[in-house]
Structure 1
Amino acid sequence: MRFLHTADWHLGRIFHGVQLVEDQAYVLQQFLQLVKEVKPDAILLAGDIYDRAVPPTEAVRLLDDTLAELLLGLKIPVIMIAGNHDSPERLGFGNRLLAQQGLHVVGSLPENLSPVILADEHGPVYIAPLPYAEPAMVRSVWQGDAVSHEAALQTMISHVLATVPAGARKVAVAHAFVAGGLESESERPLSVGGSGAVSAALFDAFHYTALGHLHNSQPAGGDRVLYSGSLLKYSFGEASQQKGINLVELDAAGAVKVERLSLRPRRDVRCLQGTFAQLLAAAPDSAEREDYLMVTLTDGQPVLDARSRLNAVYPNLLDFDYSRLNRSGELKGPAADHRRLNEGDLFAAFFEQMTGEGLAAEQEHSFRTVLDELYRELREVKS
């Protein structure tokens, strides 16, 4: 059996103020073209279909168009689960009716959680849909005592495997943070005040596990437990990642072979660094000048109106910074209580925190001259 594993579409995502629906529609057209070429037996969509619980209408329309082409046009079944960004109830609406058309959606956690059964020339394959569910939800459905994400997922797996014959080929579709995975800054944590991580060993019973949640394509405890990664780059921290989908072949004995298929975005996400003059000079010759950019200037001194001048040649410049500025938030300079420091020492500490350099004697003199002048004016006003 051959299937495509994808996840984390985040339809309706806004990236630094830019609505990405057109970019998502562009890459989903490539996805549909790949489906036509590969002709898989099924598509596994492992959660975070939408970027938020109440998605914009454009995102809903895009998903509807994509699923209609997959199911009605190409006649390929889709197994889709809810992720932590999705509203389980909204995503799973009408799932019993849709299943008759080949769209198997598990949003809210059902008490009778059971696998989707597909078949090839070698017999049935049991696909276990494991949507994202808080431990409290798992406890309420099965009256258990799961208090962690690990225990909750173990409970879900146990229930779904109870209906699977011994020795059968089994595939899991899950939305979870497997311990050891490489995170990206665009992912929402699964747990607040505790660990949302689960062990890869939970999936040992499956011949392949199609994971969603982490946006970087990567293995999670072996070559049978994999993240496909997100549809697009959703943060500048993902600039070096290659986005795509997994083509998985499952043979008669349950052995898997995975091939990575790349997707080309409408606009890439890139980080540029250099002096203002260098970046300005490079723009006319750059075929990628309309990509989504984060620019870091290496100039030692501020450049007048630098961002708007760069924006004129890089129309999708979304983030801007100077490398000399310190964003760590770690206070440098005098270690004493700031309430006991005078204005000069406070300014010196602030200057060092922001620039990474100490205040030069000439700069300190200029500051104290300005400060003295300010105090003189205040005294004159009071008198």
Structure 2
Amino acid sequence: MRFLHTADWHLGRWFHGSSLLEDQAHVLDQFVELAARERVDAVVIAGDVYDRAVPPADAVSLLGDVLERLVVRHAIPVVLIAGNHDSAERIGFGGPIFERQGLHLRGTLSRLEAVTLQGRQGPVDFHPLPYVEPAFARALEGGESVTDHAQAMSHVLARIRSGFQPDRRHVLVAHAFVAGGSESESERPLSVGGSGGVPPSVFEGFDYVALGHLHRPQRAGSDRIRYAGSLLKYSFDEAAHDKSVSLVEFEFEADGNCRVTPHRLRPRRDVRVIEGRMADLLAGAEAFGPRTDYLSARITDDGPVLDAMARLREVYPQLMEIRFARQAATGPTVDGAGAGDHRRRTPADLFASFFRDMQGQDWTEAQRAAFEASTRELLEAPPNGVLF
């Protein structure tokens, strides 16, 4: 059995005001070509196929085109589940009808039966499990005591295991946050306070667990429990990620181990962070890589930089944001003169906090004296006084 594991396409996503649909179509063309070239037995999409519950029409059209090419043109079965970004009902619509063509859609917990697909060495049971909200797991028989995501996942998986065929391999397709996983800015938290995590131990008994939700490709406590990662980089803190899809191959002999091979897709534009002094960024663009990538510029000048965004965009047309290294080094003021009720602090202390945030260092006594001298006349004037 050989199948492609992918997740978190987030079709219809916007990145700092720019639509990513063309970028997504670009890599999905490569994905379809990869599936056909590798002659895979199935494609698994582990949730968050759309970026929001009501996706734009062009995102729906793109998904329809990709699924038509995979299922109809290349006769590759597809197993697709809803993630926390998706509408469960919209993803699952028409599931029993589409299954006749090899497209297996699961959006809600109303159908937990396995999808049996024929591999080169025998049948494999795929268990599509859409994103599990504790409230929905609690509504299932025996789930009255479910209060969090870990209990919800454990309860639903117990029901799935009860129907295991012992002579088959079992692949779980799920969308969840496994405790210990490496998160990114672009993921939507599954709950407040960290209660959305599930331990890797809940997946005991499955030969492979194809996960979605976390955007960095990674294992989750075991080589058989894996996140494929997102289709593209969706935030600048993902700039160092190596995005890929996973080719999973089962060896049915011996202990039934599986081999996972990442396949990188070439983005239309990369997401990168460039850093340097303003003059160097403007004059030496060739040294900072392709100018048309989606860029965040980290400016290292000590002094003020005027109109940085407009000036840099003349050189880097896809510049999305700018940051100043001096501010990143210090962060917002949270103690000393920068803390407390501003109404109870002197103007000099307020300006000292502002100076520290902007310059990354405390002002000198001479600078403080200059500020106090320049503002003394204004501060000592009568309430209705005129200074000129």
Instruction: Give the TM-score range, shorter chain.
Output: over 0.9
Residue 218 (structure 2) pairs with residue 218 (structure 1): yes
Among residues 333, 350, 359, which one is paired with 2:363 in the alignment? 359
**1:355: how far off?**
3.0
**1:365: how far off?**
3.0
CA distance in 2, matches of 1:285, 1:170: 49
Which residue of 2 is the match for residue 176 of structure 1?
176
Supply the RMSD in Å over aligned alpha carbons: 1.9
Rate the CA distance shift 1:303–1:128 in 2: closer, same or farther, 3 A: same
Q: Any idea what the Cα deviations from partners look like across 1:158-185, whole Å, max 9, x if unmatched?
A: 2122222224211111101111110011
CA distance in 2, matches of 1:33, 1:183: 29
Task: Please identify, of 85-94 and 282-291, the stretch whose mean Cα deviation from structure 2 is larger.
Answer: 282-291
CA distance in 2, matches of 1:121, 1:14: 40
- SS of the residue 2:180 aligns to: coil
Task: Please identify, of 116-125 and 182-191, the stretch whose mean Cα deviation from structure 2 is larger.
Answer: 116-125
Q: How does 1:67-146 map to 2 (within 5 A)?
A: 67-110=67-110, 112-144=111-143, 145-146=145-146
Residue 255 (structure 2) pairs with residue 256 (structure 1): no
Residue 328 (structure 2) pairs with residue 329 (structure 1): no
Contact 1:127 1:170 in 2 (8 A): yes
Letter in 1 for 2:334: L
Contact 1:332 1:350 in 2 (8 A): no
**1:287: how far off?**
4.9
CA distance in 2, matches of 1:285, 1:298: 16
**1:274: how far off?**
0.5
Rate the CA distance shift 1:336–1:81 in 2: closer, same or farther, 3 A: closer
Q: How does 1:303-314 map to 2 (within 5 A)?
A: 303-314=305-316
**1:312: how far off?**
0.4
**1:229: how far off?**
0.3
CA distance in 2, matches of 1:231, 1:246: 11
Rate the CA distance shift 1:250–1:237 in 2: closer, same or farther, 3 A: same
**1:379: how far off?**
4.7
**1:119: how far off?**
1.5
Q: How does 1:218-297 map to 2 (within 5 A)?
A: 218-253=218-253, 254-284=256-286, 287-297=289-299
Rate the CA distance shift 1:121–1:27 in 2: closer, same or farther, 3 A: closer
Structure 1 runs of 4+ with >6 Å offset: none
Residue 352 (structure 2) pairs with residue 348 (structure 1): yes
Contact 2:302 2:359 in 1 (8 A): no
Rate the CA distance shift 1:336–1:23 in 2: closer, same or farther, 3 A: closer
Rate the CA distance shift 1:373–1:62 in 2: closer, same or farther, 3 A: farther
Residue 206 (structure 2) pairs with residue 206 (structure 1): yes
CA distance in 2, matches of 1:178, 1:76: 29
CA distance in 1, matches of 2:359, 2:139: 53
Letter in 2 for 1:346: L
Letter in 2 for 1:380: G
**1:333: how far off?**
3.8
Task: Please identify, of 214-223 and 357-366, the stretch whose mean Cα deviation from structure 2 is larger.
Answer: 357-366
Q: Any idea what the Cα deviations from partners look like across 1:23-82, whole Å, max 9, x if unmatched?
A: 100111111111121110000100000000011111111101100100111110000011
Rate the CA distance shift 1:308–1:121 in 2: closer, same or farther, 3 A: closer
Contact 1:296 1:322 in 2 (8 A): yes
Structure 2 unaligned spans of 5+: none
Q: TM-score, normalised by structure 1?
A: 0.95
Contact 2:2 2:119 in 1 (8 A): no
Residue 34 (structure 2) pairs with residue 34 (structure 1): yes
Contact 1:3 1:43 in 2 (8 A): yes
**1:282: how far off?**
1.6
Letter in 2 for 1:368: E
**1:286: how far off?**
5.3
- SS of the residue 1:344 aligns to: helix
Contact 1:81 1:130 in 2 (8 A): yes
Q: Any idea what the Cα deviations from partners look like across 1:180-232, whole Å, max 9, x if unmatched?
A: 11001110111124511111111120111111000000000111111100000
Contact 2:47 2:82 in 1 (8 A): yes
CA distance in 2, matches of 1:199, 1:337: 41
Percent identity reads: 49
Rate the CA distance shift 1:216–1:263 in 2: closer, same or farther, 3 A: same
Q: Any idea what the Cα deviations from partners look like across 1:117-149, whole Å, max 9, x if unmatched?
A: 012243211111111021111111335121111
CA distance in 1, matches of 2:22, 2:168: 42
**1:380: how far off?**
2.9
Letter in 2 for 1:296: R
CA distance in 2, matches of 1:343, 1:89: 57
**1:369: how far off?**
3.5
Contact 1:284 1:313 in 2 (8 A): no
Residue 148 (structure 2) pairs with residue 155 (structure 1): no
Q: TM-score, normalised by structure 2?
A: 0.94
Contact 1:4 1:43 in 2 (8 A): yes
**1:157: how far off?**
1.2
- SS of the residue 1:219 aligns to: strand
Contact 1:332 1:349 in 2 (8 A): no
CA distance in 2, matches of 1:320, 1:187: 22
**1:301: how far off?**
0.6
CA distance in 2, matches of 1:92, 1:79: 11
**1:316: how far off?**
0.7
CA distance in 1, matches of 2:141, 2:264: 40
Q: Any idea what the Cα deviations from partners look like across 1:230-266, whole Å, max 9, x if unmatched?
A: 0000000000001010001012243201111001100
